[in-house]
Amino acid sequence: MEKKTLIFLFGIFVLAYFLRVLFLSKNSLTFGYDQARDAYISQQILKGDIKIQGPSASIPGLYHGVLYYYVLAPGYLLGHGSPIVAAYWMAFLSSLAVFVVFYLGYLLTKKVGVGLLASFLFAISFEAAQYATWLSNPTLGIITVPLLYLGLWLWISKTPRSLGGVGWGPVLAALGLGLSIQSEIFLIYHLIPLCIWLFISRKTVTKKSLIVFGITFLFSISTLILSEFKFGFRSLAGFQALLTGGEGNLAYAKSVGDYFILYLNQIGRIFAFNSYPGNIGWGGIFVIVLAVYSLVKKNKVGSFLAAWLFAHIWVVTVGGTSTPFLMAGIGPAVGLIIAYYLYKCPKPLMFFILAIIIFGNISMILKENSKGSTLFSIQKDMLLSKQIAAIDYTYGEAKGEPFSVNSLTSPLYINIVWTYLYKWYGFSKYGYLPSWHGRDQVGQLDSLEKINKPDDTSFLIIEPLDGIPPQYLELTVGEEDSKTKLLGEQSFGTIHVQKRSR
């Protein structure tokens, strides 16, 4: 590969990383329950507490892989518990997908220009920039899913053999699939397009390569298998609920038409967030047309990318609009298919369309990323910058004296976010911790010291009410009113902190 190409590619990587961490210095980071839980667990691993079970999935009984905790741990080690440093670390890893996208684009077309253009489109992708600093397990899919399709293409395209005559294709495909399932268990749906392409290319797929694939795949999901044995095959109940729709009342069951509309809306949004996020309709239709055109023309490269783009159809019944992360890793395929066709256009038209795509993505990054991971967060204002401001307020009002806190949270009555932030940020800056006078935190990963009665100075922290049943606001405030008197209230976005006295 020419030195000039490597310089361009490294420049694209730097651009990708810059766009992803652009607002981290201002603490513009979404930090909610999942992030606090993962921060604790990754640091437990650093202290020698080995884990084999990952985060729980949305279906009771199902768990994602444990890989994310181990990948996240170095970020918290480098930052001494700082979520911001952890986000810088994860953004760096996410940006490495630039090289995978480039290489796949080059292999698909044998054109360096297509590879560079595809990696550039991935670098400026609004969705990819949102994923990069979202401290959650599906983020790993941004790099593992492209790795799967890179391996698959190497496998079926008669790439020169090595690795004992089998080639790297089966190994990379197995690692990509296994690590994607570790990242987000429902990404197992990528097994279907993989099997379809292996069947289409069955004349080039040897038994030896299938054996290598199987062994590597089992190795990559070994912790999931061990977890099943250790915890009594809990996933069986989860898969049963998944297969039955998890609905006990047929009145609430979706019809086929509902799923069709849901699928179109989901892929339309994801396609747009990687092409032209300024207008979801235009961006989504643009990519859908390219993918359908590829299938109709039976173009092998286009059809390969279309199978990747439409892979989510096999799992659309699992999640709704609140689970966009089920499509983690499909975004890079958008950049690849656009680059594939854009490179064939006359240069003036290519640069015109490229300018529109650049404008749409960069403007959306500048608009949204300062607010955290708005594509994925339910509680939009759970930003580290606002949380730190709320903590500073409580210490400032306490004036160095002891104080206690209570909180209304999502999930209900679990204070893990504020416990983590008070211990990481509050204690390091002010030298002491508040007490906790809320509901029992028994069974949680960590908690502040529990007291039975509020201190003379106390605070009620009310998280953004998104996801919290409205009746619990009145209930929680009523409980506080029975023990303390309201003195004032300060708002940090939609995070509210009530100062109270006993």
Q: Which amino acid is at 438?
A: G
Q: Is residue 165 very low, low, confident or very high in pLDDT (cuts 50, 70, 90)? A: low
Residue 322 confidence (pLDDT) above 70: no
Are residues 337 and 329 in contact, defined by beta-carbon separation less than 8 angstroms? no
- Contact between 304 and 337 under an 8 Å Cβ cutoff? The reply is no
Please list the residues that pair with 408 across neighbouring strands: 462
Segment among 158-162, 191-195, 317-321, 484-488 with least mean pLDDT: 317-321
pLDDT cut 90: percent of the chain above it: 73
Distance CA(62)–CA(240), nearest Å, equals 10
> What pLDDT does 384 receive?
98
- pLDDT at res. 282: 80
Q: 457: left (phi > 0), else alpha (psi -120 to 50), else beta?
A: beta
What are 491's strand-pairing partners?
A: 496
Task: Report pLDDT digits (tens) over 288-315.
Answer: 888 888 888 878 999 999 999 998 887 7
List the strands of the sheet with 435-436, edge to edge.
Answer: 435-436, 404-408, 457-462, 495-501, 485-492
Taking the C-alpha atoms of residue 232 and residue 243, their distance in angstroms, rounded to an integer, is 20
What was the pLDDT predicted at 316?
A: 72
pLDDT value of residue 248: 42
Residue 342: φ, ψ to 5°: -65, -35
How far apart CA 210 and CA 71 sit, in angstroms, is 28
Q: Is the pLDDT of residue 436 over 50?
A: yes
Average of per-residue pLDDT across 377-391 = 95
Question: What value does the mean pLDDT take over residues 407-414?
Answer: 95
Q: What region, left, alpha or beta, does residue 255 occupy, with left being phi > 0 and alpha being psi -120 to 50 degrees?
A: beta
Other Cβ atoms less than 10 A from the Cβ of 345: the count is: 13
What pLDDT score does 242 carry? 65
User: For residue 164, what pLDDT band results from cuts at 50, 70 and 90?
Assistant: low
State CA 501 to chain mean position distance: 41
Question: Stretch 175-193: mean pLDDT, rounded?
Answer: 94
- At 70 the pLDDT is 97
CA distances from residue 281 to 68, 267, 276, 287 in whole angstroms, order as listed: 33, 11, 9, 10
According to the model, what pLDDT value does residue 318 have? 63
Q: What is the largest CA-CA distance in the chain?
A: 78
Q: At what angle do helices 112-123 and 3-20 cross, to 10 degrees?
A: 10
Q: How far apart are CA 227 and CA 53, in angstroms?
A: 6
Q: Could you tell me which of 69, 216, 94 has the C-alpha nearest to residue 151?
A: 216
Lowest mean pLDDT among 8-12, 41-45, 376-380, 479-483: 376-380
Q: Are 123 and 16 in contact (CB under 8 A)?
A: yes
Q: What is the pLDDT of residues 73-86, one digit of tens each?
A: 999 999 999 999 99
Please report which confidence band the pLDDT of residue 247 belongs to, taking 50, 70 and 90 as the band edges: very low
Count of positions (residues) in the chain = 502
The CA–CA distances, whole Å, from 215 to 60, 163, 178 equal 29, 14, 11
Contact 370, 28 (CB under 8 A): yes
pLDDT at 467: 85
Averaged over 476-483, what is the pLDDT? Answer: 94
Residue 53 near residue 231 (C-beta atoms within 8 A)? yes
pLDDT tens digits for range 87-121:
999 999 999 999 999 999 999 999 999 999 999 99
Residue 400 — φ and ψ, nearest 5°?
85, -5
Pairing of β 457-462 and β 404-408: parallel
Distance between CA atoms of 334 and 44, rounded to whole angstroms? 38
Stretch 377-388: mean pLDDT: 94
Query: Confidence band (pLDDT; 50, 70, 90) for 252?
Result: very low
Structure tokens at 284: 């989504």
Q: Report the 10 Å Cβ neighbour count for 238.
A: 20
Q: Residue 195 CA to chain centroid, in angstroms?
A: 26
Tokens representing residue 297 in the block: 């023309």
What pLDDT score does 161 carry? 63
Q: What is the pLDDT of residue 62?
A: 83
Contacts of 452 (CB under 8 A, 6+ apart): 437
Mean pLDDT, all residues of the chain: 90
- Indicate the pLDDT class of residue 210, thresholds 50, 70 and 90: very high
Q: In angstroms, rounded to a whole number, what is the distance separating the alpha carbons of residues 463 and 411?
A: 10
Per-residue pLDDT for 286 more than 50?
yes
Calculate mean pLDDT across residues 217-238: 86
Q: Quick one: CA dihedral 317, 322, 326, 330, positive or negative? A: positive
Answer for the pair 91, 140: CB distance below 8 angstroms, yes or no.
no
Question: Looking at the DSSP assignment, which residues form a beta bridge with residue 488?
Answer: 499
pLDDT at 257: 73
pLDDT at residue 244, rounded to an integer = 63
> Is pLDDT above 90 for 251?
no
Please give the pLDDT value at position 253: 52
Name which of 13-22, 250-259, 441-450 the model is least confident about.
Answer: 250-259
